[in-house]
Structure 1
Amino acid sequence: MSEPTFPHANRQPFSEELWDAIGPIYQAILAHPFITGLVDGALPRDAFRHFVVQDSHYLRDYARALAICAAKAPAEGDVRAFAGDAVGAIAAEQQMHGAFMADLGGSAEQAATLPVGPTTRAYSSYLLATVYGGSFLDGLAAVLPCYWIYARVGEALLERSSPDPLYRRWIATYGDEAFQSVVRRVVALADRAGDEATDAQRSRAREHFITTSRYEWMFWNAAWQQESWPI
């Protein structure tokens, strides 16, 4: 018998299913020395600089991924929202990271000339392959951790802040209500899209969500290790 294609009223909201699936990953992120170093101010500047450079590279591909999500979005409002988020990702790369690089004794132009690291390349490649080749729900699940985990980390860290003004500014960016409201909108869309999906479609999308959540941990770990290509 083929799987029913109608919504299942007795299923939990898709966002709850997704977040439950990454509970241990999120706790590992909060406990990572890169994150705890932001809060206590002990994070080495070189590690933060590595993060800013790689995040600048990553956000260019993330903007492309969001643009593809916009093209596949089922509703006009969602098309506009994702297109706006794609523009916002580029703006963040140009403005926020440029300001951080200036504080770190460099520039956005200099960051653009530095190599894309192994984890950054792997993460962005997986992301782009998923949004290009998968369904709208697949792509949404793949891009969602970069929204949602940063919002939850920013929210958690905002309560503790940091003695370092540079790290305090980074925390405030993601703990800010403006960013939190954007994330709530995308999470609500995940619930709507997930409600219309079959169990098999939700399961496949959940695997993408788990994978890119793991890449989020790996991204911070790469910065902590100041990862470079081995050869």
Structure 2
Amino acid sequence: MPNASDNRLSDYPRPNVAVDIAVLTVVAGQVHVVVQRMPEGEQAALPGRFIRERRTVGDTVCEVLELKLGLSADDVRPHLLEVFSEPDRDPRGWTVSVAHSVALPSDELAQVIGELQPLTLEGALESGERLLYDHDLIVAAATDKLRRRYEDQPDPDHLLRPPYTLTDLRELHEAILGRRLMRDSFNRRVEPLLAPQVDAMGKPETRLGGGRPARLFSPSNPPTATFGYRLPSADEK
């Protein structure tokens, strides 16, 4: 009887392994994702790339960002979502996807290769179009993870450019969470977790808006504190 140690790696079938990335942002109070099409304009898909020989998953994430999207991988914090491994997920052949997500400010995507598509609260394309392979599942997972992060910390993905007002921050969280938040309760929860902006004299810096001047804040350093429990919605008693 052959010993298991006699088996060689070549005795086992090998899937293709790819990295697919859902790049998310917020535009006009709505979460968007970057999708790409072939020159023929066929069905859209997430940007991705097969892992080349002697390259790591991390290397491939950077290659997708730089080669497929035209973005700099510097200072980008990719989030590992999960491994999508249904045998029939790609009709071209057995392919496993190590899916990631990235959340970036919208101004960093001005020259991105692809198109920004608005998403529903469930993480589907608002247009109703279906993405290739199982990329709809990847986008849904990415938006769910994004929502969980924003339920836990003030702007953990740094989608806002500091300094910002508490109203700016609340509107960002409302766009991602998909519900209106209680203004006063939100302010009480987040203000202790932020760094107030002060001028050279130590006085609070403000921004003039439609009403009275609003105080300006930046992320705390390091931004480790969390809300502690779910942010209350505006319609909750």
Does TM, normalized by the shorter one, top 0.5? no
Greater share of residues in helix: 1
Tell me the TM-score normalized by structure 1.
0.25
Tell me the TM-score normalized by structure 2.
0.25
Which has the higher Rg, Structure 1 or Structure 2? 2
Greater share of residues in strand: 2
